[in-house]
Each structure stands twice: as C-alpha cells, then as structure tokens.
Amino acid sequence: MDGEPFGIYLDFPFCIARCAFCDFNIQGYREAPATRYLAALCKEIEQWARRAPNLRTREVTSLYLGGGTPTLYSPIQIAEILSACRHHFNVTPHAEVTLEAHPATVHTANLTALRAAGVNRLSLGVQSFSDDTLKIMGRNHTVADVHRAFCAARAAGFGNIGIDLIYAIPGQTNQAWKETLDAAVRLSPDHISIYGLSIEEGTLFHKQGLLPLPEMDAAAQYRVAQARLAEAGYAQYEISNFAKPGHACQHNLLYWDRHDVLGFGLSAHSYLQQTHYRNLHRLSDYLASLDADRLPIEWSELLDDATHQLDRVIFGLRKSVGIPLRLLGRNPLLERTAKELLRDRLLIATGDHIRLTPRGMLLADEVAMAFL
C-alpha cells in the first residue's frame, strides 16, 4: 500500500561452486561478469526509482543481500550497492541490513569493513556441524571455518548473527542431527533457521539417485530441533525459524505478512501493491535489458483482492502466532476451509487468532493446499 514501509531484496547469483542440493539460478564466480553484474544492479536500482517515484517517499525498513554468495564481492562493492539503495530510496537509519555469507569467504578484515558499510545482520550458511556431511553436500567449507567466521563476526561488532541448518540429509541419523543442533547452540547465534532437505531434479543429489529421509524420519528430526532449540531459549516464530528475543528476521516477516518487497537482480521477485514481478532468468538477458535502459522484468501479474487475501492467509499461517480471524474476511470458502482444518486439528483457535498446531506445522504444505 502507498505510504507503508517496504523491503528491498538484492540477488547476487555467483557462487564458489554449486552445492549438491542446490537448484538455484547461480553462476560460477568470474571477476569480469561479476563486476558487470554489479553495474547492472546499480542501473536497475536507479531505473526503479526513476520509473516508480512514489516508492522514493516510502520508508525501507529492510535490505537483504542474498544469493548465491554476496561475500564473494569486496566490502567496497557491497558498500557501493548499499549506497545506491540509500541514494535512490528512503532507507531508515535503523533498517535491518542482512548479508548472506559463506563461512569460507569472511574474516575479521572484510567483516569489519562490511559492518562499517552498514551491514548489521549476518546470515551464515552453515548447514551442518559435521565435516563428513559438509563434504557430501559439496559445501566447500569446514566446521573449523564456521567457528572462525562466527568469532570474526562477533569481533567485528555483529550483534545479530543467524545460521542456517539442513536436516533430513541422506544417511543422516537422529544422533548426528542432535550433535549438529548441540554444536549450533554452543555457538549461541541470535537466530537459527532449519530446512528439511528436498532433492530437486537437476541437482547433483538427484543425478546420484539419492533420496531424502522418509517423511516420518524427517518429521522426527524436526520435532527434535523444536525441543532442543526451545530448551536453549530460541522462540519459534515461523515454521523454519527460531530466534532469541528481539532477533526475529524482519525481512522474512515482510514476506510472510505479504508486505511490499522490491527485488533487484537475476531471477529476483518483487511484490508491490498486489502486483507480482519476476526478473529475467538468463544472465545475458538481464545484462542486455539494463544496457538498453529497460527494466529486466520477465513476467508480472496483478493479483485480484481474493488472491491477495488468500496469499495473506497462507503465508501468514507460517508464523507461530498465526493470523487474525478477520483476515478470513467473511469469505465463505476460507471460513469453511478453516473450520475443516480446526476439526482435523491442523489449526487451533486462540482468542481472535488461528494458528497451526504442532501437527499442522509438520503438514503446512497440506494446509496451504487445502486453502488453495
């Protein structure tokens, strides 16, 4: 909506190497195309500001630099991108500025420079605290790298560090998963995300014929994580996300509440005033579009009010607090579905809110499909 705060997402599609489970649109890092891409990203930022001047008066409360591996770029280059955002948009002084980081690419010197450039939240792609598992996943870092990166980030002044973990990895035992959780808790990050492995077509895992753990085993590992992280003082605020008090990721909350987010970069998605945009998928097309002074939009769709309402229900139910009943908006279809899910004990009503039950969290995709 006009006047409401919004977030900015910046995609950096270059990586050291492709992980065995990755199906993202990434490229191998080479300096020349990576530098050209950075210039194109600055052009896209300027173009959006020029073509949608109404956005310039709205407050930006979150910047998220993801990928890919943004930390393959130098702090000077990251500072350039952040400066472009601040120049063209109204980024608030206290905006959350998150940078995704590969543990092998960060150290005290570049982290100190990144902190000085305005990055105030770090998201480390840890995935596992087992060197054997990291090798299987093709992660190109070790557990020792994780500890070095984390300590360097604290030394550089980062008071908000998140780590990502993956469970249901082929061959992963419950005991191995517990050991990874224990190691994560000992490190004491401010935020922990856990993601069940899915093996997508085209990935190395898929080509190797590997399968994730059976559903029941994956669900058991998820419940183990819920219990261990709660015991350690992490509040679960979304299906996959746990945080110490005051450290929930504000950028992710923008997505789940279906607030506006403007995405820049290859394959980036934007959601603005009920219109969904998707950027071009091929790097050459993306660069050529910006060279020709055209926004690199591949596809867009204006969502009608009913679809927007449905989105707010489905995405909002991912949060542990759920959604206010008023979001059902006296829509007979949504109300009937909610009643059925309450009856099946996938949803629970608390005051004027409905939320997923513990069983509903395990079956969140089925809940979403029921509403669809």
DSSP string, 242-269: EE-TT---HHHHHHHTT--EEEESTT-E
Contact 232, 185 (CB under 8 A): yes
- CATH of range 305-371; options 1.10.10.920, 3.40.640.10, 2.70.98.30, 1.10.3720.10: 1.10.10.920
- CATH for 6-256? 3.20.20.70
Tokens of 137: 């996943």
Question: What's the first-to-final CA gap in the chain, in angstroms?
Answer: 24
pLDDT at 1: 54
Identify which of 80, 82, 117 has the alpha carbon closest to the alpha carbon of residue 8.
Answer: 82
pTM score, two decimals? 0.94
DSSP string, 135-189: HHHT----HHHHHHHHHHHHHTT---EEEEEEES-TT--HHHHHHHHHHHHHH--
Tokens of 329: 């908006």
Identify which of 111, 35, 2, 41 has the alpha carbon closest to the alpha carbon of residue 268.
Answer: 41
Tokens of 212: 């994730």
- Rounded CA gap, 94 and 76, in Å? 21
Residue 294 CA to chain centroid, in angstroms?
27
Beta bridge partners of 125: 164
Tokens of 321: 């607090």
Domain residue spans of the chain? 6-256, 305-371
pLDDT at 16: 85
- Rounded CA gap, 128 and 351, in Å? 39
Q: How many CB atoms lie within 10 A of CB 214?
A: 10
User: CA dihedral defined by 126, 127, 133, 139, rounded to 10 degrees?
Assistant: -60
pLDDT at 2: 63
How far apart, in Å, are the Cα atoms of 158 and each of 134, 189, 190, 237? 25, 10, 10, 22
Contact 138, 97 (CB under 8 A): no
Identify which of 343, 335, 319 has the alpha carbon closest to the alpha carbon of residue 371.
Answer: 335
* H/E segment holding residue 1: none
- Rounded CA gap, 300 and 278, in Å? 6
The residue type found at 94 is: H
- Please report, in tens digits, the pLDDT of each residue of the chain (372 residues total): 566 889 999 999 999 888 878 878 777 788 899 999 999 999 999 999 999 999 998 999 999 999 889 999 999 999 999 999 999 999 999 999 999 999 999 999 999 999 999 999 999 999 999 999 999 988 889 999 999 999 999 999 999 999 999 999 988 999 999 999 999 999 999 999 999 998 888 888 888 888 878 999 999 999 999 999 999 999 999 999 999 999 999 999 999 999 999 999 999 999 999 999 999 999 999 999 999 999 999 999 999 999 999 999 999 999 999 999 999 988 899 999 999 999 999 999 998 999 999 999 999 999 999 988
Strand (E) positions, the chain? 6-12, 14-15, 27-28, 59-67, 90-101, 121-127, 161-167, 191-196, 235-238, 241-243, 261-264, 269-272, 275-279, 297-302, 323-324, 347-350, 353-356
Same fold, 6-256 and 305-371: no
Contact 345, 359 (CB under 8 A): yes
